[in-house]
A and B are shown apart, each in its own frame.
Chain A
Amino acid sequence: MKSYLNFLLIVVFLSCEKEPFKINNLNGNILIMGHGGMGVSSPYPMNTFESIMHCINLGTHGTEIDIQMTKDGVLVAYHDKELSSKTNKCGLVNDLYWSDLKSAYYTSVPHLNYSILSLEQLFSNIDNLHEHKFIFDCKLYSNNDSLIFYNSFIDSFREIISSYSLQNNVYFESQNSEFLIKLKEDNPEYKLFIYPPSFEIGLELALNLELFGITISTDQISTDQIEIAHSNNLFVSIWNINSKNENIAAINKSPDCIQTDKVKHLVNLLE
């Protein structure tokens, strides 16, 4: 009886052990990134200092951040096109000066009173900055001439990346291939991801423009398609991962990077 119980105990113990994931990608491991920090369902609003720092302090490699530019060229972290959707200000980020925007606060319940963050504020307040990765999702909302706007946006990126020596720590993603071309012209070393409407379009654009990779919703890419991207030496970053089960499914696809809304769970799975 005793030996039977011991056997049962060993079986239970072994069945509780984590089965390691078989990861077959270009990194050898998966970059664990937050989605705007702690993701869409967090008590923190996305892209705020609190959300990004909580994500980093949980042991991720870094986070994706939605980036927009003010009228005076300050890069800020904000997702929506209209400020009025989540804050006490109106219009586009690009319609306002940073001096106006830094007093803005979130008004969407339950995310009340959080401030809009500039990249300068973020980078100047992170310890061990160079241990972290940042994916800049470039939100190109502007009422101005697109060419002038793109150039100004790229100038602002160049300035902040060089002032914090972040060349090896940042990735860029955009739906706009024209903007990606301009970024590549400015610095061929930038790691650029196309954010396409479908995998097929993304693959074609990434190969034609010689980009670093494809960033795409997990619903729009299969394991086989990720393998195709890898066989073309393209990195794959996937997002729209909102639950624990989706974290597991995402890992099993072996992408190079996961931008998750369930940060803590993904860290626990892959640590």
Chain B
Amino acid sequence: MKILLSVILLCFCFTANAQIESVGKKNLLFIEFLGAAGYGSINYELLLKKIKKIKLSARIGLSSHKLKDFQNEFNPDIIVPISINTYYGNNHHIEFGLGQVFTSIIYADKVNYEPARRNNLSTNFSIGYRFQKEVPGTICKIAYSPIIQNNSIFTHWFSIAVGQFFK
């Protein structure tokens, strides 16, 4: 909850700043390997604000570890990473991100051992490098992105992403 509040506060600080440049609509589609979703995810990111060399963006992704449950029925896992990222630089950026991962995974129910969906939130943050030009084109990033499982257990993790930046 504290982390969610921090993310909201961070967004508010940016939007309240008078020196913000208009960025128009700048979108990014990328594939992340490993990262917040575990194995990988496809993601959409929207550049929200820009203050000189500092940029703020919001990201939402989608992933699934498996489409069928352990009874071999179609019953996909759903993993949705969301985060706020801020990055600094011209083409080469230092990036910091903070977010939550919503997971809806099929486990065996602890009473009847039938497939049952269990929802969870995990915190993740990332710090890394991003290559992204001002003009539309290919982007890539690499980051240390640990996962804080059930908001209590810290796991070291990494991410590599490639994508396309467009207006």
Contact = CB atoms under 8 A, between A and B. Distances in A.
Interface of A: 43-44, 49-51, 53-54, 57-58, 88, 107-110, 112-115, 121, 125
A125 B118 CA distance: 20
Contacts of B103: 112
Contact of A44 (B70, B72, B122, B149): B70
Interface stretch (B50-58, B107-115, B126-134): B107-115
Given A57-B71, A57-B72, A112-B120, 15 more contacts: A43-B39, A43-B66, A49-B108, A49-B113, A50-B108, A51-B70, A53-B71, A109-B38, A109-B149, A112-B105, A112-B122, A112-B149, A113-B107, A113-B120, A125-B113
A115 B116 CA distance: 14
Contacts of B108: 49-50, 53, 115
Contact of A107 (B105, B113, B118, B153): B153
A110 B72 contact: no
B128 to A, nearest CB: 17
B146 to A, nearest CB: 9
Contacts of B80: none
B65 A110 contact: yes
Contact of B149 (A49, A53, A54, A107): A107
Interface residues of B, number: 25
B149 to A, nearest CB: 5
B72 A113 contact: no
The listed residue with most B CB atoms (<10 A of its CB), out of A58, A110, A113, is: A110
Contacts of A115: 107-108, 110
16 contacts: A43-B65, A50-B70, A53-B108, A54-B70, A54-B72, A57-B70, A108-B155, A109-B38, A109-B155, A110-B39, A110-B65, A112-B120, A113-B105, A113-B120, A113-B150, A115-B108
A53 B107 CA distance: 11
B147 interface: yes
Contacts of A53: 70-71, 108
B135 to A, nearest CB: 36
A155 B38 CA distance: 41
A197 B129 CA distance: 46
A54 B72 CA distance: 7
A110 B157 CA distance: 10
A50 B66 CA distance: 12
Given A43-B65, A113-B150, A114-B107, A107 B70 contact: no
Contacts of A54: 69-72
B70 to A, nearest CB: 4
A113 B120 CA distance: 10
A44 B39 CA distance: 12
Contacts of A112: 38, 103, 105, 120, 122, 149
B157 A109 contact: yes
A58 B147 contact: no
Nearest to A43: B65
A125 B103 CA distance: 26
A140 to B, nearest CB: 28
Nearest to B112: A125
A165 B151 CA distance: 44
Contacts of A57: 70-72
B107 A58 contact: no
A108 B38 CA distance: 10
Contacts of B69: 54
Interface in B83-136: 103, 105-108, 110, 113, 118, 120, 122
A45 to B, nearest CB: 11
A58 B71 CA distance: 8
A200 B107 CA distance: 43
B81 to A, nearest CB: 12
